Structure 1
């Protein structure tokens, strides 16, 4: 997963403003007590950061691929 895909998923699930706020402020144990933004800046794989955020925020598994996964760019 690319950083741009991470941010698309964050915005799809939480909205632009709240999603950016969560990424900057929500400290997650699964990310070694870092925020998602700190983890990304430290080089943690965006997919791992996204999954940690999903777990912490109780995002249902069926929504973890975003609103319309067919429209998202493919990783590869």
Structure 2
């Protein structure tokens, strides 16, 4: 998954402003307690990060975006 696709999905799920906030502020256990931004900056694959977001926010992410 390209980063542009990743961010498009984040914005579809959370809205542009909240997506940035979630990425910067919410630590995810599946990312070793890192935020989305930290994981991506550390070289984590976007698919891995997206899957972690999907599991952490399963009530918000529609099945068509999983």
* Shared fold per TM-score greater than 0.5: yes
State the match for 1:69 in structure 2. none
Show the counterpart of 1:50.
50
Task: Report which structure shows greater RCO (CA 8 Å, sep ≥6).
Answer: 1
Aligned to 2:65: 64
Partner of 1:41: 41
Q: Which residue of 2 aligns with 1:6?
A: 6
Q: Which residue of 1 aligns with 2:23?
A: 23
Larger Rg, first or second structure (1 or 2)? 1
Say which structure is richer in helix: 2
Higher strand share: 2
Q: Which runs of 4+ in 1 moved over 2 A?
A: none
Two-structure CA RMSD over aligned residues (Å): 1.4
Equivalent residue pairs, number: 65
Give, in angstroms, the shift of residue 62 of structure 1. 1.3
Gapped runs of 5+ residues in structure 1?
A: 66-76
Q: Any stretches of 5+ residues in structure 2 without a counterpart?
A: none
CA–CA distance in structure 2, aligned partners of residues 10 and 26 of structure 1: 13
Q: Is the 8 A contact 2:13 2:61 kept in 1?
A: no
